[in-house]
Structure 1
């Protein structure tokens, strides 16, 4: 027999609650054999079921929330409800607090006055950590109160969304006053997040914040650069006699400028005269 079993020191960790830890199954069997005086038949004895109210968990008759609520009103423990319904204790506690049923978990250690204060601060959209510091409770308790108060989570989401829109409006207003000459595309590129936040929420509001629409202007032509290019291309040509101006324009890729805009091309016109075309 191993030395650890011969000294019976293993019995203490099996029985003590605070210093209990897992032991080998053989130790449990030895202790049970001693307690039952070696009667192996007792190992097969079934523990009688607890007598009490029959818990019908038919989903056809009840929703789970209604079922949990009914058990809570009957005074059933969370452990019993958890094992019967199959929902976590957090869910059971959530149902209890929504319907104002007191329970014995840590969430009830704070007085009702603290709970009401947390709800009031959460209603105005205050951050969870700020509420925690103002009320002296943990952030987890604040989050639990918010989630267990009907409609409060949705209200806070709506407040955050509204604050986001207000911040976007303020940013676009400031950028317009700072850069009055900016076009719509400039504002859109520099304030994309605010632009699309308002665009997805209220397009009419966005129109009031943006500068008026402007018609696109065609890009200007650099005639001096084009004149130098065409003149150089003309000097590189080996023209045949009596070549038309239209054919010359085609040969030097003039885009019709020799026919329509020769007055903007003085260097090219001079070259054509030297070549005897004009």
Structure 2
């Protein structure tokens, strides 16, 4: 820390927040190393000029890409992949969820979802989430029902509904498409009703009175919008 302070001794003190308070301000360095820390970028640059003799070394310094940060927790990517393969192998071998959970540290929910995604049978004795309930959830989800309504009809939690939906291939994309179609129908109908109730409105009036609807259609359904908006009026001169 003393060497770093000597290195920046000629630095301007106009902004005291970017330089250490003194030679014993070790918090200055620890803050820069925090995973989710938020500090002035100049502090990182200032410290880097002391660590590296050449600026080019900063950009060519090898970085360990196998380590990532997830919600502030540093994890090793390779180890996560290995654990995932190990869980899959245990499930395929027919081991119980409790035993796999003890050996790998993964939750039962993670293991059940992994089994569903890979179409592996798991020896379970569910009290609520029976195969009949799963089929009902998928059927309602495919029809476009809201998660809350599906949970209410099937007598399960919203989290269970979301997990079941995400485990079925193509169902999430299907629901996204249904949501888009529903939004498009709603916005189209709203605009047509406004035009029918205000036949003398010009485009600028519609844009002001139906702002959110107008711009949603402009971004997602522009051809239909151009076809149903009133034709632009030709400007008339004063004489």
Q: How does the TM-score come out when normalised to structure 1? A: 0.50
Which of 166, 174, 177 is the matching residue for 1:155?
174
2:149 is aligned with 1:102: no
1:82 and 1:111, CA in 2 relative to 1: closer, same or farther beyond 3 A? closer
Contact 2:90–2:100 at 8 Å: present in 1 too?
A: yes
- Structure 2 distance, partners of 1:190, 1:130, is 33
CA deviation map 1:91-138 (0-9, x unaligned): 2221112214224475x6432122111110110101122222323333
Which of 217, 221, 228 is the matching residue for 1:202?
221
1:64 and 1:199, CA in 2 relative to 1: closer, same or farther beyond 3 A? farther
Contact 1:96–1:103 at 8 Å: present in 2 too?
A: no
Deviation at 1:163, TM superposition (A): 0.5
Question: Please, which runs of 5 or more residues in structure 2 have no aligned partner?
Answer: 1-76
Match runs of 1:7-22 below 5 Å: none
Contact 2:92–2:120 at 8 Å: present in 1 too?
A: no
1:166 and 1:179, CA in 2 relative to 1: closer, same or farther beyond 3 A? same
Give the aligned partner of residue 188 of structure 2.
169
- Structure 2 distance, partners of 1:118, 1:187, is 41
- Structure 1 distance, partners of 2:83, 2:207, is 50
1:91 and 1:172, CA in 2 relative to 1: closer, same or farther beyond 3 A? same
1:116 and 1:100, CA in 2 relative to 1: closer, same or farther beyond 3 A? farther
Match runs of 1:105-184 below 5 Å: 109-184=128-203
Structural RMSD (CA):
2.8
Deviation at 1:205, TM superposition (A): 1.0
SS in structure 2 at match of 1:102: coil
Contact 2:116–2:167 at 8 Å: present in 1 too?
A: yes
- Structure 1 distance, partners of 2:107, 2:181, is 35
2:95 is aligned with 1:73: no
- Structure 2 distance, partners of 1:115, 1:73, is 22
- Structure 2 distance, partners of 1:65, 1:150, is 19
Between Structure 1 and Structure 2, how many residues are aligned?
161
Deviation at 1:80, TM superposition (A): 4.8
Deviation at 1:196, TM superposition (A): 1.5
Question: Please, which runs of 5 or more residues in structure 1 have no aligned partner?
Answer: 1-57, 222-278
- Structure 1 distance, partners of 2:179, 2:200, is 32
SS in structure 1 at match of 2:95: coil
1:136 and 1:83, CA in 2 relative to 1: closer, same or farther beyond 3 A? closer
Contact 2:94–2:122 at 8 Å: present in 1 too?
A: no
Contact 1:172–1:194 at 8 Å: present in 2 too?
A: yes
Question: Which structure would you say has the larger Rg?
Answer: 1
1:111 and 1:217, CA in 2 relative to 1: closer, same or farther beyond 3 A? same
1:150 and 1:130, CA in 2 relative to 1: closer, same or farther beyond 3 A? same
